[in-house]
Amino acid sequence: MSHKLIVIIITLISLHLSSQGYNDIDEVVSNFPTKFKSIQDFATKINESFSTDLEKTRAVYYWISNNIAYDFEALKNKKNYFSYDSEDELINKMKILSEKVLKRKKAVCEGYSQLLKFTLKELNIECEVINGYAKKYTTDIGRKRNGSNHAWNCVKLNGKWQLIDATWSTGFSDENNKHFKFNDMYFLIDPEKLILTHLPNNPERQFLNTPIKKESFFSLPVFFSEYYNSGLKINHKTMGLIKAKENDTIKLIFDKADENRFYRYALKNNSFTTPFLFEREQDGYTAFIPIESKRSTSLTLYNDNGFAILEFKILIEK
């Protein structure tokens, strides 16, 4: 048996065991109490149930993402937790916030990330909160936003920083706080993937060999979580803002496309989606999509299950 084949087999076995391990962890956590009196009690339950830092991190993340509802009321009120006179005061405020989140079972992104941080700290696992900008609307494309609108985490496991977004894992787009859409795509997600939607204020927290600039981030299309499993890879030269003439046809360039799958598109306010095909090029794929609109609009691409994967801003030039 060749060395290359042995490596492939070992890799596949490791991936299988990792997947199975998460399933086992998730099943145990699913039987945890839905409420805890304190972070210390929560951490004690984790310690009693799991042994490795990876298991404990997954358990904390899974419980938070499946038990903490997104607080839309707090989002609308835009309550500010960041008024402080010293670093110690800020840390104390964030610890108090974390305890409130655990008891109220409601939070915005800062609450999710602080609860994850302080629980892991109780378990002696290094974890930090990352503040930055999350891009999820076409109105962000082409604009250079200042400040922050989101918070997520990095956790150090086996000497390597890994990325987690517990807020986006819980499925916060549904304003029915009793309905969760758990999605673990954002657990230990690759930095190359997360940078498509999350821009840290501190470039070092991108964990990329070559951090991208703010201008480049906001020039990208809007990426949805289904994109990562869509079989598509958009070419890096394809911008999120596309200029077109009235009733024009635009050209989208992809490095990869799954020829065995079907994709569809729709313009904003269009009730129906339309299939589109790729043309095979020497170094990738192209798709030609008619823009039958007299006004500037947005274009959304969907996978074969009907989920949005990419969104572009279309500027109709007169």
Q: Is residue 199 located within the same domain as residue 237?
A: no
Is the distance from CB of 297 to CB of 268 less than 8 angstroms? yes
Q: Is residue 135 located within the same domain as residue 192?
A: yes
CATH code where residue 204 lies: 3.10.620
Residue 95 in domain: yes
Closest CA to 121 of 93, 98, 104, 100: 98
Residue owning tokens 């989140």:
101
User: Which domain does 251 fall in, by range?
Assistant: 225-317
Over 60: is that where the pLDDT of 18 sits? no
Is the distance from CB of 232 to CB of 258 less than 8 angstroms? yes
Number of domains in the chain: 2
Give CA–CA dist 70/168, Å, rounded.
Answer: 10
Is the distance from CB of 222 to CB of 309 less than 8 angstroms? no
Q: Is residue 151 located within the same domain as residue 299?
A: no
Q: Is residue 113 located within the same domain as residue 94?
A: yes
Last residue of a domain, which of 185, 200, 220? 220
Q: Is residue 159 located within the same domain as residue 233?
A: no
What digits encode the pLDDT tens for the residues 33-73? 999 999 999 999 999 999 999 999 999 999 999 999 888 77
Residue owning tokens 């799991």:
50
In the chain, count H helices and then E strands: 9, 17
What digits encode the pLDDT tens for the residues 256-265? 999 899 999 9
Give CA–CA dist 81/93, Å, rounded.
Answer: 7
Residue 27 in domain: no
Over 80: is that where the pLDDT of 236 sits? yes
Over 50: is that where the pLDDT of 12 sits? no
Average pLDDT value over all residues in the chain: 87
Residue 4 in domain: no
Band (145; pLDDT cuts 50, 70, 90): confident
Give the relative orientation of helices 53-67 and 39-49 as an angle to the nearest 10 degrees: 130
Residue 23 in domain: no
Q: Is residue 258 located within the same domain as residue 114?
A: no
Q: Is residue 187 located within the same domain as residue 292?
A: no
Please state, for a pLDDT cut of 70, what percent of the chain lies above it: 86
Q: Of the ranges 1-15, 19-33, 49-63, 158-172, which one carries the lowest mean pLDDT score?
A: 1-15
How big, in percent rounded to 5, are the helix, strand and coil portions of the chain? 40, 25, 35
Instruction: List CB contacts of 269: < 8 A, sequence separation 6 or more.
Output: 297
Listed in order, strand segments (DSSP E) in the chain are 69-70, 106-107, 127-134, 150-157, 160-164, 187-189, 198-200, 222-223, 233-234, 241-245, 248-256, 263-267, 274-276, 278-281, 284-291, 297-302, 308-317
pLDDT of residue 147: 82
Query: The pTM is what?
Result: 0.87
Question: For residue 222, how many other CB atoms are within 10 A of its CB?
Answer: 23
pLDDT of residue 179: 52
Last residue of a domain, which of 177, 195, 220? 220
